[in-house]
Amino acid sequence: MLVLKFGGTSVGTPERMENVANLVTSVEGRKIIVLSAVSGTTNTLMDITNAMKSGDTEQANILVNSLEDFYNNFSKKIFKTTNYQTLGKEIISRHFSLIRLFAAGKFDDRTRRELLAQGELISTEFFHAHLHERGLKSQMLPALHFMSIDENNEPELEKISERLRPLIKSLEKYEVLITQGYICRNYKNEIDNLRRGGSDYTASLIGAAVSADEIQIWTDIDGMHNNDPRIVKNTFPIAELTFDEASELAYFGAKILHPSTIVPAQKFSIPVRLKNTMDKEAPGTIISDNSEKGKIKAIAAKDGITAIKIKSSRMLLAHGFLRKIFEVFENHQTSIDMISTSEIAVSVTIDDNSALNEISEELMKCGTIEVDHNQTIICIVGNRIAEKNGVLKLIFNSLGTTPIRMVSVGGSKNNISLLIETPYKEKALNLLNKGLFDSHD
């Protein structure tokens, strides 16, 4: 069994959706197809919920109407026969009646989540109908029947597997099963989601749940690049990555993968292949247990970081002190990304500021604190690079006089992280690209 996930741009126009259908039918064997919403849809649904939240019903209606127009045009192009054009209209009318009902009602978080789910529900229905119009047998595998998260928003892999395996068995005669990425049910059985970009995570959870042979993430670029292609010119695709390398890159900002994608795949050693829908001959990236050691593979950057420094006049690092500090973060369910210590101070970074006020108040009992917003973690990744002689020299030489706020080495063998102020990010990524990869051929 293969799991193939196609992102928003890959199904972003009727032509591209047709291209995905060609691609799916050219792959042999049984497969589960995970689809994102058509590109732009989740953003628009998000804008609708924001307009509703601020009481701007007029703006919400404008957005709903223009999204519906978009789908009407999409439907007219993707469906060729009258029967299927009627089906397209029916799909749109069903979902948009619901969207209008939500938009007219009282705004709350549950409504927001139900609205956000409509994108993947529509794209999968369209794709399924498109395959049928072409005479290809496919069957829907509704994500809301098997994908779930617990009270801590963690996917319930065992339960997902227990639900999914018999479902798939009962659909044995179908080669192509289609499901929605991103959406799930929470512990209250309400509609929820796996956070932005979550369709990648859906694919790897399904791959792990059914012991797939391979998880393929099809997107709009030819694999994981050595640096962020939105910021740096002349980046190139990396042929092979280990699970650890890919995991670090995803967690530290490589947008091509949702931060948690690698975790379930790695647990069951299921290879993850990144491929380009627009250039399917391109080799892409294979993520598995194997990879060349001691080589700098890639750089990623994660914005929206806050650095907190806790200073004490006493010996801060006397035993028990760090525990007290970490407990503050644990009590507020806020995870720490980077840490650096000196005798009288400790600096940590967080990417979730929702409990920052409470955390700061409690930390003040331990010493004086300084909070810096608008920071970026730059993460340099390679299998065992931290053991390679001269790597730090190369990194610091490349960065020249760029101010660095924190450095983390030795936490893992695969990662060297730096904290800088976000306005220096573009320059730092470009300097590192030049210094670390210029000899690449």
Interacting residue ranges for ligand ADP, rule: CB under 6 A: 7-10, 36, 197, 219-221, 224-225, 228-230, 254-256
Cα separation of 229 and 222, whole Å? 11
Q: Are 181 and 199 in contact (CB under 8 A)?
A: yes
Q: Which of 118, 199, 216, 226 binds ligand ASP (CB under 6 A)?
A: 199
Quick one: tokens of 103? 């938009």
> Is residue 42 a contact residue for ligand ASP (CB under 6 A)?
yes
Q: Which is nearer to ligand ADP, 221 or 363 (CB)?
A: 221
Residue 350 near residue 325, CB atoms below 8 Å: no
Q: Which member of 33, 37, 160, 217 binds ligand ASP (CB under 6 A)?
A: 37
Q: How many other CB atoms sit within 10 Å of the CB of residue 339?
A: 15
Q: Which amino acid is at 248?
A: E
DSSP assignment of 35-85 equals E-PPTTHHHHHHHHHHHHHTT-HHHHHHHHHHHHHHHHHHHHHH--SHHHH
Q: For residue 170, count other CB atoms closer than 10 A to its CB.
A: 10
CA 39, CA 219: separation in Å to the nearest integer? 11
* 433 contact choice in ligand ASP, ligand ADP, Mg ion, none (CB below 5 to 8 Å, kind-dependent): none
By CB under 6 A, tell whether 259 contacts ligand ASP.
Answer: no
CB of 39 or CB of 375, closer to ligand ASP: 39
**Min dist. Cβ of residue 438 to Mg ion (A):** 29
Q: What span, in angstroms and rounded, lies between the C-alpha atoms of 115 and 112?
A: 5
| Min CB(52)–ligand ADP separation in Å | 25
Size of the site for ligand ASP (CB under 6 A): 12
| Residue 119 interacting partner from ligand ADP, Mg ion, ligand ASP, none (CB closer than 5 to 8 Å by kind) | ligand ASP
CB nearer to ligand ADP: pick between 41 and 138: 41
Quick one: 36 or 334, whose CB is closer to ligand ASP?
36
Count of residues making up the chain? 441
Does residue 261 touch ligand ASP according to CB under 6 A? no
Could you tell me the smallest distance in angstroms from the CB atom of residue 203 to ligand ASP? 9
Q: Which residues contact 322 (CB under 8 A, 6 or more apart)?
A: 341, 346
Strand order in the sheet with 368-381: 336-341, 345-350, 298-311, 368-381, 415-421, 406-412
Dihedral, CA of residue 228, residue 233, residue 237 and residue 241, to nearest 10: -40
Residues of this chain that bind Mg ion (CB under 5 A):
7, 197
**Which positions from 138 to 177 touch ligand ASP by CB under 6 A, shown as an x/- string?**
----------------------------------------
Instruction: Work out the end-to-end distance of the chain between its first and last CA atoms, rounded to an integer number of angstroms.
Output: 36
111 binds ligand ASP (CB under 6 A): no
182 binds, among ligand ASP, Mg ion, ligand ADP, none (CB under 5 to 8 A by kind): ligand ASP
- Of 350, 357, 344, nearest to 373 by C-alpha is 350
Residue 181: contacted member of ligand ASP, ligand ADP, Mg ion, none (CB under 5 to 8 Å, by partner type): ligand ASP
β-bridge mates for residue 192, sequence order: 184
- 12, 14, 88, 119: which one binds ligand ASP (CB under 6 A): 119
User: Among the candidate windows 190-198, 211-219, 326-334, 391-399, which touches ligand ASP by CB under 6 A?
Assistant: 190-198
Q: Judged by CB, which is closer to ligand ASP: 44, or 85?
A: 44
Q: Which two tokens stand for residue 343?
A: 């005798």
12 touching ligand ASP, by CB under 6 A? no
Whether 409 contacts 416, CB under 8 Å: yes
Token pair listed for 331: 């009590």
- As measured in angstroms, the least distance from the Cβ of 14 to ligand ADP is 17
Q: How many other C-beta atoms can be found within 10 angstroms of the C-beta atom of residue 43?
A: 13
Q: Which does 221 bind (CB under 5 to 8 A by kind): Mg ion, ligand ASP, ligand ADP, none?
A: ligand ADP
Of residues 197 and 367, the one with the C-beta less far from ligand ADP: 197
Q: Which residues bind ligand ASP (CB under 6 A)?
A: 7-8, 36-37, 42, 119, 181-182, 196-199
